[in-house]
Chains A and B, each alone.
Chain A
Amino acid sequence: MTHTKFTRSGLVAAGTSTMLVLAACSSGATDETPSGDALSGAVVIDGSSTVAPLTEVAVELFAAVQPDVRISVGVSGTGGGFEKFCNGETDISEASRPIKDEEAQRCADAGIGFVQLGLANDGLAVVVNPENTWAQCLTVEEVSSMWRPDSPVDSWADVRDGFPDEPIALFGPGSDSGTFDFFTDEVNGDSGAIRSDYNDIGEDDSAAILGVSGATGATAFIPLSFVNEAGGQIKAIEIVNDNGDCVAPSLETVLTGEYSPLGRQLFVYPSDVALEKPQVLAFLEYYINNQAEIAELAGFIPLNEDQEAEALERLNSLIDG
């Protein structure tokens, strides 16, 4: 008895505040959802913990539109999520990488059809001063040599033989940032591992851009979306991926997966069986239609128009097929 009571008041509290944000942020967003019918039933989502924050925001906003749909988000990891997904145990699987061939095969063997929907971009760029002519392309190891904990590197000459003896100035976001976590995890191998004497610009990524533009030897890591905004003040350098290719960061290279490991797209995979449930379809349509707002609230790079259109098209292809 008691738990229903306080949960209900919890729901009301969360619901009301969600409404407020909807009214404030996007007046047009809800219009596109099939809000005519009150839906109910469950939607079971599981998978990557990187994607979870994005989906959680979507779930929270959707709950204001369809409060009776019971959506749960688990974090079994991308692989663990696909295992359950191909077992028919979840409706939607989240993934921070594309599905592997053997995972797709297992789903096929189980007769589970699915489609891959990219719902946000997640990437960051290593940027330098435009006057920096030597660093065109770096390996992850070279980037790490500058940033790893207790790194003694203080000159570009220490990074690679042949680089000029130009002092390095490091700018980066603080430990509260998702960018920080992603960068330290991918580059230094451990989320949060970083040298302590870099210039911490907190949450304000534009401060890093200012810093880098002010010194020839400066470098920083910033979310990909900020590179375009900065115009010519800074330049993004290429990063050597697993195939040994130098790849410049861009939405395209993030999308194709070529820009690795600092770029990736966040995916969700609905199954064809699940899409027969109206509440699953409604949720996904809502998710795609409001992806920009959702990505922003969750701190990711929203899809561009083409990506959004493609996601909708893919979703429809699975429904029609």
Chain B
Amino acid sequence: MGLLLVPFVSFLILFFFGRKLPSQGDWLATLTGGISFILSFVIFTQIWTGTPQHFRWTWFSLGETTKTLDFSAGILLDNLAAVMLVLVTFISLLIQVFSIAYMHGDKHYSRYFAYLGLFTAAMISIILADNLLLLFMGWELVGFASYLLIGFWFEKKAAAKASLKAFLINRLGDVGLLLGLFGLYALFQTFDLTELNNSFSAQNPTISTYLTLIGLGLFCGCIGKSAQFPLQVWLPDAMQGPTPVSALIHAATMVAAGVYLLARCYAFFTPDALLIIAIIGTLTALSGGLAALFQHDIKRILAYSTISQLGFMVMGMGTGNPEASLFHLITHAFFKAALFLIAGIVIHAMHQGLNALPYHEEVDRQDIRNMGGLRRILPITFIAYLLAFGGIVGLPFFSGFLSKDAILSGAWAWAESKNNRLYFLIPDIGFISVLLTAFYMTRQLLFVFFGKFRLNLDPKTLRHSIRNEASVLMLIPVVLLALLSLASFFAVNPFNAASGWLYGGNQLMPQLPNMLLRAIAENHEIHVYTAFLSTTLALAGIAFAWFKYRNLELKIGRVASAYSAEPLNPIARFTFRQFYLNELYRFAFIKPALKLGKTVAFFDKKVIDGLLHFFGMIAVVGAKIIGWFDRIFIDGFVNLLAWFSGSLGKMGRNLQGGELQSYYLYALLGLMLVVLSILVL
């Protein structure tokens, strides 16, 4: 509990008082980050291989006293949550340290750290939640923090648009998630994960279509959050945010929340739902890899690569190997965060070097065609990049090898257990993705670090100072993360993930009767085969890229914007534009929606407004008539009365007019009256 509160308190303090704190409160954010990391590490040591802890209390109650619906809230600490906790707090701590140097001098420095605190708190609440409702709240909060951080430089129009896009697309997935939650509640009257798991082990298979739909609903949330195939378009645009944010949220933690959700709800998925999950994951892995092939933006390449790796994880889930998928989640978090932070260092260095140039405004700092030869200038960064590169490509001795191998052999065994050859497409496409990953990563490596620096500029100006290539605060996190992509942190035998502490022992998801894993363990052949094949493919990808980009045809001094923005080859352009998914959505959804909006507006204007105008006119005419009546009759009557009394008064006044002759007249009239009365009476 305290763990959850620490980053949140940091968020509140920084958000409201950040500017007044010394050095704008970065030390506070880092301190709270450190405290949460230490706390979660303590929790980890207590929980790991121990008994899961479960604290819960009643959250709120609904309904009458006779039949109340109690909603509980609580914390579920099992091995999975403990590992994820350490992962999230560790990476977020490193990234806060990195950000101190990266964001230095930014206008909204303290607000940035406040948002990071909010994000960490939300992420921890997802991990700790013991029921789906609480998890959903954390889920939404995470999305909100992501929205804030993508649009952090909201003065840039692209950033503001990207944040909106990410938020809206996530909403789309959340609708499905919400529907799934409703369905689950309708069936089992509880959101509690432990109770749900218990009910599922005792459920009857008659309602399985319904369950498939529920599972797909839950998976929709994952599609949105983890940027799976039809909805992955927001993630590349999310790169408009600050680079450490991309590392933390859009590579390591938040996008993995979808995979975490799948793992948490794994028992609820029917075989049909799992098949669809596997297909979507495979498609994502392939499409992400293809889209990354010809990108020029250093961050966009990594973003597409993230999509591809997330596809891998989801494929692992779908093919009945959630442990492998979680294992890949963890290894991927480390090396992808490292890669993004390295991209941050490179971009930062480019900024520093370019600011001295007169034409620096036009030069894209993130275009890999403007870089080159950075291995001599930034040697430590280069070595860190090589480590993370080994991880993501899946070379032996690196963590990515272990986790990818686990997923692929799982998928292979899954396909073998089916009786249809078509199922082998899924591991096959997985292998193709390995090849693609190796290709585009090598391409990036060659463009950024090899060859010669391609701008008319002394590359030495890119260094932070003469002694240091970059700020120490930036180098330490990068080196730490890059080292963690070595296999030896996860397994003693670098060729067998099952020999490690994390994977293979049924540690992460003990509630599953993991038949498949046992099958893999027994069938050693598949394992060796996949390991061999994926290594070969990775090496082939590297070699292919090496031969294609070894002699870069780009000229020194020529700015990247001088080249055409898109590849000329139509197939390459097709992948570059991400299969025109954005355009498709614009054409298929946004335009019709706008058109619908316009039609409705037209209907409103003409019909509704017309009707209103008609009634308005009637009312106005009626009012005019009444007004006329008022003026003529009522006012006339009142005026008549007034006039009458006025003239009476005037008459009375005239009696006392002071004119001598009238006095005579009155006297005479009076006299005549007297005479008349005498005569008559």
**Chain A partners chain B:** no
B interface residues (Cβ-Cβ under 8 A, vs A): none
* A interface residues with partner B (beta carbon < 8 Å): none
